Amino acid sequence: MKLSRNTRGISIILLLVVLTLLVAVLSMNVGKMNLSPLEVFKVIIGEGTSKQNLIVFDFRLPRIVLSILVGIGMGISGCIMQSLLKNDMASPGTLGISSGSGLFVLMYITLFASEGLLSPILLPGLAFAGGLTAAFLIFMFAFRRGRDISPTGLILTGVAMGSGYSALSLMLTLRLDKQQYDFALRWQAGDLWGDDWSYIMVLLPWVLIICFYVFYRSNTLNTLNLGNQTASGLGVAIKREFIGLTIAAVALASGSVALGGNFFFVGMVSPHLARKLVGPNHKLLLPTTALVGALVILIADTLTRTISFGADIPTGIVITILVTPYFLYLLSKAS
């Protein structure tokens, strides 16, 4: 039974990889300026025209890669948080970590950055500092001496802190000029603005290195799911592992938020969908969550670029519309 379940999980992962590649190829073909599959193929083998090369390599391919990286980062971050807190509602958004990251990035945009000076290295670092600060404050306020931290209390504290961060972000937003205000508004709604190779080359190793660490600790996550007492009896250093994995989750969410805005629902729903597909084993759950998150953002962004909504709609709004019914379903199951 175990072998067949693992085999089924691997098959699902391979299917998701193929599906992601197919959607990526489709995304390169469609848009305001359609390219046929043959034209895209010619570009890939180096026989495209300068206009076709510009469309694929400068506009569409970096956006596709960014969609995948942000989806992976938000999905795995949400999976880690749900596993550590043993609560299906945990995510970078509900814990207020995304709002903390966003506040620090917005402070940089408001106080220091002028047009053309948004540093691809500094932005993820600032977002990470903001997310880490938010996580520390949330855990500090939720901590009760002599008692384990309540996941529900932690989430409620995160929601309250997130509301405070959002209020501060709004205050900063009101100080912006029109161009900065438009950027901040779209970024807060979930806009894949960092679709430039200079930003992607910073985010790519950030996501890959942290994901490698998380996958390496997949057995630890499986053990922690058995309960702290059992995990401690099996030799797991609970506090050390909890802190290390929490920092990894914050780092993944912060990097994704910095260049892609706040994709709140991706971090919450992707682990749920993945768990239904492959079960709770993190060796299968983590890569499945990563692929589901990448697919959700990639499909939503392709729809945004292809369908005319009468306005330039941020990808995050489309994701919210698509995912809200499933989120309501989760709430009805939990009640």
pLDDT in tens, 163-179: 888 888 888 888 777 87
| Single pTM value for the model | 0.91
> Residue range 111-133: average pLDDT?
72
pLDDT at 232: 82
- Position 118 pLDDT exceeds 60: no
pLDDT in tens, 288-307: 999 999 999 999 999 888 88
Query: Phi/psi at 115 (nearest 5 deg)?
Result: -55, 130
Query: 3-state class of 128 per DSSP?
Result: helix
pLDDT at 259: 83
Q: Would you call 182 exposed, middle or buried from its count of C-beta atoms within 10 A (0-12, 13-18, 19+)? A: exposed
pLDDT greater at residue 22 or residue 162 = 22
Interatomic CA distance for residues 147 and 5, integer angstroms: 37
**Confidence class of residue 216 from pLDDT cuts 50, 70 and 90?**
very high
> Is the CB of residue 76 less than 8 Å from the CB of residue 229?
no
pLDDT greater at residue 158 or residue 223 = 223
Q: Which of 8-17, 138-147, 268-277 has the lowest mean pLDDT?
A: 138-147
- Position 309 pLDDT exceeds 80: no
- Position 228 pLDDT exceeds 90: no
Q: Would you call 98 exposed, middle or buried from its count of C-beta atoms within 10 A (0-12, 13-18, 19+)? A: buried
SS3 assignment for 185-222: HHHHHCCCCCCCHHHHHHHHHHHHHHHHHHHHCHHHHH
pLDDT at 1: 47
In degrees, rounded to 5, the angle at the alpha carbon of residue 167 between the alpha carbons of residues 166 and 170 is 85
> Is the CB of residue 252 less than 8 Å from the CB of residue 204?
no
pLDDT in tens, 68-100: 999 999 999 999 999 988 888 788 888 888 888
Q: Which of 138-147, 179-188, 307-316 has the lowest mean pLDDT?
A: 138-147
Greatest mean pLDDT among 65-74, 113-122, 242-251 lies in 65-74
- Position 333 pLDDT exceeds 80: no
